[in-house]
Amino acid sequence: MEASSTLEQEAQALKHLTEKRNRGAPKTKITFRKLDIGDFDRGYYELLANLTVTGDVTRERFEEQFNFISPATSHTYKIIVGIDDEKDKVVCNGTLILEKKFARNCATCGHIEDIVVHPDYGKQGIGGDLLTALSEMGKINNCYKLILDCAEKLEPFYGRQGYKYKGIQMAKI
Amino acid sequence: MEASSTLEQEAQALKHLTEKRNRGAPKTKITFRKLDIGDFDRGYYELLANLTVTGDVTRERFEEQFNFISPATSHTYKIIVGIDDEKDKVVCNGTLILEKKFARNCATCGHIEDIVVHPDYGKQGIGGDLLTALSEMGKINNCYKLILDCAEKLEPFYGRQGYKYKGIQMAKI
């Protein structure tokens, strides 16, 4: 379990980001926070289906995986969602995995995964705010860098968020 | 902590890979196993210095990070090293990070990190055997895929190990 001060800093950063976004009178008010077990009923899988294959996950299996990962207190998984409070729906997801290394003075590397914004909520800057939230989680946890893999066509989007091309991703199934 | 049956399967797989390699009367006999806290004294940082910046890590800091990661029993970190038994030196390292997802039927994705073979031990097939060991760890832990980031020039090497180009890696410092 993470030190409470780190968890408190994370909660504060998400609260500030939420307030900052909503002060701007956006088209949709969004609350950024960590994934909650109740998000299964807020359309979490309908959201993820816009990213990849989800499979037919039962509530029981979701809760089992949720309890294993423990997003509220995990020191490894920082899973950030955005909620459309009016509709009580999850409209975006982004995950930061904290990898502890032995190299670089035992540094922490942040891996960004599973970035998705529901297509009904596009063109509202939600993806950018989500990446800002993940960067804040990275800073609080002293990441020396954040890395992500994406399709070549997304290079301009992530470029605008401060990411630079580093190399290639390879996969084995 | 991981279920003992998984840990036993992992130990068996590493034992088999070690026996298979050494039966072939290689130039150097190598034992593949998980990282051990004693590897600090077997040149672990001298090895890592061939991969990246290591910093000046004291034994105390190494042990603190080792105890946090808990490579012997962690369900997230599978850190495999190869030992030159005759010289009692760590000659290669490869890390598999197991990421639990909610998508893809709550699948596990394996991230391969920190692959390095000491330059004195090149051209002996050690890198290939190390990747085989990590693939075995991935199979035992039901990974639906293994992914890694590398420089473009390494695409042929990983291609020979069954990896295919998937996209690009971007980083933010």
Question: Would you state the pLDDT for residue B47?
Answer: 98
Give the number of domains in chain B. Answer: 1
B38: DSSP letter: G
Within a domain: residue B173?
A: no
B68: DSSP letter: H
Within a domain: residue A89?
A: yes
CB contact under 8 A, B169 and A148: yes
Average pLDDT value for residue range B86-110 = 98
Question: Would you state the pLDDT for residue A1?
Answer: 52
CB contact under 8 A, A171 and B162: no
This complex has an ipTM of 0.94
CB contact under 8 A, B163 and A170: yes
List the single range of A59-63, B23-27, B86-90 with lowest mean pLDDT.
B23-27
CB contact under 8 A, A99 and B111: yes
Q: Which chain A residues contact residue B100 at CB under 8 A?
A: 65, 68-69, 77
Average pLDDT value for residue range B127-150 = 98
Question: What is the chain A residue with the closest CA to B48?
Answer: A103
Token code pair at residue A65: 């995986």
Q: Which chain B residues contact residue A99 at CB under 8 A?
A: 97, 111, 113
Edge-first strand order for the sheet with A164-172 is A30-34, A77-84, A89-100, A108-117, A143-150, B164-172, A164-172, B143-150, B108-117, B89-100, B77-84, B30-34
pLDDT at B146 over 80: yes
Q: What is the CATH number of the domain that holds A72?
A: 3.40.630.30
Query: B124 vs chain A: nearest CA distance in angstroms?
Result: 23
Within a domain: residue A114?
A: yes
Phi and psi (nearest 5°) for A53?
-70, 130
Question: Would you state the pLDDT for residue B169?
Answer: 98
Mean pLDDT (chain B) is 96
Mean pLDDT (chain A) is 96
Q: Which chain B residues contact residue A146 at CB under 8 A?
A: 171-172
Q: Residue A153 — left, alpha, or beta (φ > 0 → left; ψ -120 to 50 → alpha)?
A: alpha
Within a domain: residue A145?
A: yes
CB contact under 8 A, A54 and B144: no
Within a domain: residue A93?
A: yes
Question: Would you state the pLDDT for residue B25?
Answer: 87
Within a domain: residue A165?
A: no
Question: What is the chain A residue with the closest CA to B103?
Answer: A54
Question: What is the rounded distance in angstroms from the CA atom of residue B159 to the CA atom of residue B161?
Answer: 5
- What confidence tens digit (pLDDT) does each residue in A6-50 have? 999 999 999 999 999 999 889 999 999 999 999 999 999 999 999
Select from B35, B42, B45, B102 the residue whose CB has the most chain A CBs within 10 Å, as the one to mutate to test that interface.
B102
Enclosing domain of residue B107 = 4-160
- pLDDT below 70 — which residues of chain A? 1-4
- Map tokens 């992914």 to a residue: B147
Within a domain: residue A170?
A: no
CB contact under 8 A, B163 and A171: yes
Q: Which chain B residues contact residue A38 at CB under 8 A?
A: none
Band of pLDDT at residue B24, cut at 50, 70 and 90: confident
CA distances from B60 to A50, B33, B38, B55 (A): 46, 23, 12, 14
B141: DSSP letter: T
Provide the whole-model pTM: 0.95
Within a domain: residue A173?
A: no
Query: A50 vs chain B: nearest CA distance in angstroms?
Result: 11
Question: Would you state the pLDDT for residue A54?
Answer: 96
Question: Would you state the pLDDT for residue B84?
Answer: 98
Average pLDDT value for residue range B83-105 = 98
User: How large is the greatest C-alpha to C-alpha distance in chain B, in angstroms?
Assistant: 46
HSE toward the beta carbon, residue B123, CA cutoff 13 A: 1
Q: Which chain A residues contact residue B166 at CB under 8 A?
A: 149, 168-171
pLDDT at B38 over 90: yes
